[in-house]
Amino acid sequence: MKEYSISNIGALAAETIASADSGSIIGITSKGAFIRTDDRILFLTCADYRSPFNLTISDADHRLAELQPGDLVVFRTGELYIPAARITIRTDAAEIWTPPPPSPLKTPFNDQLALAEQWIKTLARKDPDKGFLFLASESGAQIDVETSHSVRSLLEGFKQGNFEKLMSGVRVLLGRGGGLTPSGDDLVTGFFLYHMRYDQAVDIVRPVIHDWLSQVTQLAFERTTTISANRLAAARRGWSEELFLKIIDALFDSTNQLDSGFFERLISFGHSSGVDTFMGIYFAIKSMLSNI
């Protein structure tokens, strides 16, 4: 029997374990294990980053080698129990992390776009073939014409207030790419996350954005992975992994500086989820400009 302790619980993970009785492991990565209960997701991990989905273990082997897809996870008061691996994971002393509100909006959209394009160049120097980075250039877009056209439909549909055009792009993107969160899912998530954080930053509510994201999230539960659908559901609250909240804060207010190792962490987040979520943020900025 092994016993581990959770040091930090994301707010959505806390909601889930408070309301569910059990779940099962649906995926193992180098950073941890995804647990599903009904249509909700938790991520059991030793990785040192904050996420609304994370249960962060401070004292476990980072591989959690005993765990296997399909393992039952029982939620009990103050702990999780995994019978097949004979592991107890204590949750009663954990700190709950709730994503903070965004920085106030101080940087004009044109300047945000210039900053985002600067970061894209930084990422391309480090790993030019990562994820959907190719979409940032005219010539690169020819690498995958269908993806390029679908992003254009998303962007133009949003700017025109044309839901059907937007959805024609979303339908292609959802589920596009491999992995536990396909690249297209991540891009769509980043796109709507930016808009929800923008509304919070300027203290407005654009009902049409909320309605569109609700329908996109519903479609995601039908067409792609449960993990991706949960990330979209979190975006409806303006919530995401801390990495992406920091990016948006630095865009909203350029005095918020990203640390020297930030882009290495972004590139290494998931298979390409860090880069692809950022690309969605990049296109969201473009959607706010009339001349792009």
Return the residue matching tokens 């407005």.
204
Same domain, 79 and 116: no
Query: Among the three residues 50, 77, 97, which one is the final residue of a domain in this structure?
Result: 97
Residue finishing a domain among 56, 72, 97: 97
- The answer as to whether 102 is a domain residue is no
Give me the number of domains the chain comprises.
2
Is residue 103 assigned to a domain? no
* Chosen domain end from 72, 97, 122: 97
pLDDT at residue 1 greater than cutoff 90: no
Q: Tell me, what's the pLDDT at 137?
A: 81
In a domain, 211, yes or no: yes
Average pLDDT over residues 255-274: 94
* Same domain, yes or no: 121 and 74: no
Taking the complete model, does pTM exceed 0.75, yes or no? Answer: yes
Residues 43 and 183 in one domain: no
Query: What is the per-residue pLDDT for 14?
Result: 96
For residue 184, the model assigns a pLDDT of 97
Which residues have CB under 8 Å from 53's CB, separation 6+?
10, 12, 13, 41, 42, 43, 230, 234
Q: State whether 218 and 144 are in the same domain.
A: yes
**Can you give the pLDDT at residue 47?**
87
Are residues 13 and 65 located together in one domain of the fold?
A: yes
pLDDT recorded at residue 292: 54
The answer as to whether 104 is a domain residue is no
- Work out the pLDDT band at 25, boundaries 50, 70, 90: very high
In a domain, 203, yes or no: yes
pLDDT confidence tier of residue 290, bands split at 50, 70 and 90:
confident
Least confident of 10-24, 32-46, 91-105, 138-152: 138-152
pLDDT (average), residues 56-84: 86
pLDDT in tens, 238-251: 999 999 999 999 99
HSE-CB for 193 with a 13 A CA cutoff: 35
The per-residue pLDDT for range 182-218, each reduced to its tens digit, is 999 999 999 999 999 999 999 999 999 999 999 999 9
Domain membership flag for residue 44? yes
Residue 168 and residue 66 share a domain? no
Q: What is the pLDDT of residues 65-77, one digit of tens each?
A: 789 999 999 999 9
Domain that holds residue 51: 2-97
pLDDT at 61: 55
Are residue 66 and residue 40 in the same domain, yes or no? yes
Per residue in 93-114, pLDDT (tens digit) is: 999 999 999 999 999 999 999 9
Whether residue 85 sits in one domain with residue 222:
no
Same domain, 134 and 27: no
Q: Are residues 260 and 148 in the same domain?
A: yes
71, 117: one domain? no
Residues 191 and 170 in one domain: yes
**pLDDT band per the 50, 70, 90 thresholds, residue 62:** low
